[in-house]
Every structure is written in structure tokens, then in C-alpha cells.
Amino acid sequence: MKKQKQLIHLGVLAVLLGGVVAPLAQPFSPVTSVAAEGPITTKEIPATTKINIYKLRADSYSKLIENRDGQKLSAEALKELGTNVTPLKGVTFKWYKITDGATDDMLRKMTKEELDVKYTKNGSTGVTDSEGLTSFSVSKEDNGTYWVIEESAPATVSSAYAVPFRISFPMGTSDGSGYLSEVNVYPKNVESSFPVPDKDVESVGQNEGSYNIGDAINFHLKGTIPKNIHNYSKYQFDDTLDPQLDYEGIGDVKVGTKILTVNEHYTVDWSADTRTVKVSLTEAGLKWVSDNVPVANRGQQQDNAALDKAENTDAAPYIDVTLKAKINDKAVLGKPIANKTQIEFNNRGGNHGEELTPPPGEDTPPPGTPGVPPTTPPAPPGEDTPPPTPPTPPVYVYTGGKKFVKVGEKETDKLAGAEFKLYDNKEAVEAMKWTAGLLAANKDAIATGKFVNATEGKEIILKSATDGSFEIKGLKYDPIGTTGELATAGNGSKKYYLQEIKAPAGYVVLADRIEFEVNQTSYNKTPTTIESNTGDADPQNVKNNKRPNIPHTGGIGTIIFVVSGLALMGLALFGLKKDKKHS
């Protein structure tokens, strides 16, 4: 009679609470199934009860089916739970026998380490297999109340439903007819890929570019929007600049066509010591992205290659940060300067019982089943976030220069004092002018007299030195492509022109403009192998001719010519007078 009453009480309890999880776990996550074979039951309390934990993952969950008697879910029932529901491999759980009557709220506030200390009767499951299955067993002698947490999960997992949960043994059937000797439970995770970073120079898909020293460069730091961005507590771009680049600030930060607001949606932190800029989405910024980018529009670019070519549209948006920089006077002319970025992120946060907010308006579990972050992220000891993404493939920027020597008709004659204006194309009317960047790049040549009146905003006028040499540093040239492959980065060329405005003494000013080419090796012979400029490239000769010789006048011949002329004139006058007298 006593045993019969006990069975009835257990059955009523199971009916009220769904049969699988104990009362305090029920609001947290009812677990459901549709049985094909029926529950495994016994009339007597079983010697051992086996708990099969089937771990699921999905992009999102939309339905909760009432679980009856811990039966196994059918494939059809799995599909009904949400979007892209599949088993999750690689998860472990840890169980604790609760001996002090602690409530769920109390247990959820405890860290794993605190649970380990307080509840010494505990253990871990094996890793879930390809079907998402792992299990543990409780003997009749150890029956009681157990608290189960998710101990580790793949780093792509951001939130969990149905964990942690409370489960009590022995467990009766929902109809009070006996005891369950095997129970199937289905805790669920929301999973998404990591954010994918990429980087452009100036425009979509451009991975290299050439600039005059001091000219503005716009790098674009790009990151995909994971489907579970609503669970993120950190999303931060890290970019470290080479010493050959100067940091000039952050421009627009965009999601699709929308521009975010600095300090409200993101913050900027530049360290001159580490030469690193960090652009971090704030809590409000993360919420803005979650609220304004539907789940269906997130994560449209799956890898670097797709993101590299993708336009930032509202239908398939990503996060785009404009990083402003410029090449400085430390640049090795012709040597590509690499730049990469990576993303630090936390797609989970807090303790194992801390609730996470689902994306507004999206398919999510019904009220009463909040998501929680996995208990222990798979990170090194002491870490509480996944590692950063791998750095992006590098993009490259570079600049060039040119060396000259002024020579006479004999190339061994080096000529000083020739002056030239500089033009960036053959038809240009206005000569190129000095900028602060070009002044810094050419400061040594300016100091040795190889330029005339070098002042910002004034025309650039080159001047040959006593050995005939002159040069220009910091000129851009045209890349042959935009792929950003190191093997070809820095290749390309651009034609510039000199117009001589003053010739060396005794020489004729050249009428035509002098064409020259700036390329990877026009200033340094082997730029990719050196750390500072050597200027060892062969200079281009600029040849001048002497003025032509004109015969000298005013010598003895002139005197003879004048005397002879006067004599003839005198004879003519004498003749005229004689004729008059005769007449």
C-alpha cells in the first residue's frame, strides 16, 4: 500500500512537471520528445538509472514540445524545434549531487569552481559524439537531486537552452505505473560561425595600393555579423600599424548603408606605444546591430574570399571600419608595407546561469526558457573568452622614388646647377607642389641643396648637385593588380616628367620634357631585402649640349674691310667732283 501511494505521488508529480526535469528546472527548459518505442520502465526502483543527453545546436529555436517520460525525439520532432537543428559534437557535461536543498536560483549564481568545492560528489560525462549523445548513470544508492551544467562546448557555441538543469532520482513515469530506468534529455545550444575579418585598401576587393608619402590612405576593416550576434558581449577590431605608417584616425563605421555613432555605438582606443588601434562595439552598438540586422541577413559572407568581394548592403551587411593612415618618411621605397587586422570577440558571457537576450522579433524559444552561455568556454586556463580570429590576409601599400644625374655631351661630364620642374603627366600645366609628407621624405636632399625653395605649397624644383646628382623620393606608382599577393605586391610603374627651366652654365636649356619612370626598383635595386633606403638604383642620365660657337667679330679683318670701303667711297667722290669741274 505504501509503495503504491509512492508511485501515485511520483506519477502526479511527473504529469505536472513534464516528467524529465525536477520542478525548479521546468521553467528553465522543458525537454520534449515523441517516443517511437515508449519509455524504458520498471515496476521497482531500478538499480541504475541511465541519463542520455542528446546535445542539439541550431541557428535559433522557435518551438518547445512537452516532454513525456524522457523518450527519444524523432527526426521530425527535431526539425520542428527551430532553424537548422542538428546534433552537436564535442560537448561535455558535469553533474553534482545536491545535498543541501539549494534552489535553482542559488545554484545558477555559483561558478563551476564554487560548485566543485561545495558539492564534492560530482563527475563529468564523456564528449558528445556525432549524434550529440553522451550519458551518465546514477545507482539506486546514489539517488537524489542532481544539478547538471555544460562543462565545455565548441567555441562557436554562444548560448544554451535547457542547461543547467535539475534532475531527481528515482524518476517515475507520467502515468504513475512505474519508474524510468533510462531517460533522454535534449539541452539545446544556439551556434553560429565565428566572425570573419577581412581588409581592403580604399575600395571593395582592392588589397594593395601605392601612394605619395604623406597622402591619405583609407583602410577598411571588415567583419561579418554572426547569426548569434545578440549573444555577443564583445566585438572588437584590432589593427597594429607598421612603423612606416602613421595613424590618422577612424572614419565612418558602417553596417550596411547605416553609419554608427562614435562613443554611443563604438569606442576608439589608439596606443602610440604599441601602434595598435582598437575599435570596439559598445553594449548599445551590439544591441543596435542585433535590433537592426535580421537573422536572415546575418553571416551572408562565409569566408575571407567572399567578404573580400562583397558590397556592404542592408540585405547582406557586414561591419566596416574606415582606418585612416599615411605612409611616412621611414618607408623603404619600393617595399610593400603589410597591414592586417583581427577581431576579438566574446560570443558568450557570464556564469552558466546568466540569461542572454534573444534577438528581437526573431524565432526564439518561448518565454520561460532563456538562453544561457555555456558554462566553460574552451579557452586556456584563466581565460573566459574564445581566442581572437586569425589575422586577415595582409594588404599592402607602397611608394617609390627616382635618381638622376645631369651630364654633358660626354657622360663623364657631371653638370651642376641644372633646375627642373616636376610634372605627374606629359600634358600637365601645373607642376607638382610640395606637401608636408614629401618635404619630410626629401629632407636630406633639401639639406644638400638638391631642391630650390622647398616650401609647402610651392612648386617642386629639383637641382643638380656638384656631382650632377639629383633625386625625388615618395612618389606613388600604379600597381599592376589589386590581389595583394606578396609575390607581386609592389610591381607596377608610373611615368612622370621633368621640364628643365635652367641649364648649367655654357649649356642650352632642353626644350622637351624628360620622361622618367617610377617603379619598385627605380630608387633601391632590391627593396624587398632591405630595411632602409640604399639609393643604389642606376640613375637616369639627363644630357645637355653646349651652346654653338659663333665667329668672333672686331679683329684686323674688320679694320681692313672698313679702310677698303672708305677708300672706295673716297675715289667715288673724287670722280664725281672731277666730272662736275669738267662740265
> What is d(CA 226, CA 359) in angstroms, rounded to the nearest whole number?
12
Give yes or no: residues 143 and 50 share one domain.
yes
Between 579 and 276, the higher pLDDT residue: 276
Query: What burial letters (b/e) apply to 285-303, b meaning 16+ CB within 10 Å?
Result: bbbbbbeebebebbbbbee
Q: Which helix (H) or strand (E) holds 8?
A: helix 2-17
CATH code of the domain in which 105 resides: 2.60.40.10
At 342-368, the pLDDT tens digits run: 999 987 643 333 444 445 544 444 333
Same-domain status, 467 and 501: yes
Q: What is the pLDDT of residue 16?
A: 29
pLDDT band at residue 446 under the 50/70/90 scheme = very high
Cα(12)–Cα(32) distance, rounded to whole angstroms?
18
Looking at the domain assignment, is residue 388 inside a domain? no
Contact 537, 332 (CB under 8 A): no
Query: What is the Cα–Cα distance from 582 to 81, expressed in whole angstroms?
Result: 147
Residue where a domain stops, chosen among 344, 368, 389: 344
Check whether residue 161 and residue 86 sit in a common domain. yes
pLDDT at residue 535 in the model: 97
* Confidence at residue 205, expressed as pLDDT on a 0 to 100 scale: 93
Which of 73-87, 156-170, 210-224 is the most confident on average?
210-224
142 and 226 inside one domain: no
Our CA angle for 526, 529, 532, nearest 5°, is 90
Statement: residue 66 has pLDDT above 70: no
Beta bridge pairs of residue 122: 96
Does residue 577 fall inside a structural domain? no
How are beta strands 208-210 and 395-398 bridged, if at all?
parallel
Beta strand 258-259 with 245-255 is antiparallel
Pairing of strands 245-255, 319-327: antiparallel
% of the chain at pLDDT higher than 90: 56
- The answer to whether residue 349 sits within a structural domain is no
160/387 Cα distance (integer angstroms): 20
pLDDT at residue 35, as a whole number: 32
The residue from 303, 318, 344 where one domain ends is: 344
Q: Which of 422-436, 441-455, 476-490 has the lowest mean pLDDT?
A: 476-490
Claim to verify: residue 183 and residue 198 sit in the same structural domain: no
DSSP state of 480: S
307, 202: one domain: yes
Q: What is the pLDDT of residue 31?
A: 36
Is residue 322 classed as helix, strand or coil in its secondary structure?
Answer: strand
Amino acid letter, 379: A
287 domain residue, yes or no: yes
Strand pairing class (197-201; 342-346)? unpaired
Specify the number of domains making up the chain: 3
Residue 201 sits in a domain of what CATH number?
2.60.40.740
pLDDT at 226 over 70: yes
Q: In terms of domains, do 116 and 201 share one?
A: no
d(C-alpha 39, C-alpha 294), whole Å? 40
Could you tell me what percent of the chain has a pLDDT over 70? 76
Residue 10 domain-assigned?
no
CA triplet 528, 534, 535: central angle to 5 degrees? 105
End residue of a domain, out of 154, 188, 222: 188
Segments forming the whole domain that contains residue 56: 39-188
Q: Are 118 and 47 in the same domain? A: yes
In a domain, 402, yes or no: yes
Q: Is the peptide bond before 170 cis (omega within 30 degrees of 0)?
A: yes
Distance in angstroms (rounded) separating the CA atoms of residues 464 and 442: 14
Work out the pLDDT band at 180, boundaries 50, 70, 90. confident
> Are 204 and 331 contained in the same domain?
yes
Same domain, 157 and 86: yes
377 in a domain, yes or no? no
In a domain, 316, yes or no: yes
Question: Is residue 165 located within the same domain as residue 250?
Answer: no
Mean pLDDT computed over every residue of the chain: 82
CA dihedral 369, 36, 90, 382 (to 10 degrees): 30
pLDDT, residue 36, reads 31
Q: Give the least confident one: 209-223, 468-482, 494-508, 541-555.
A: 541-555
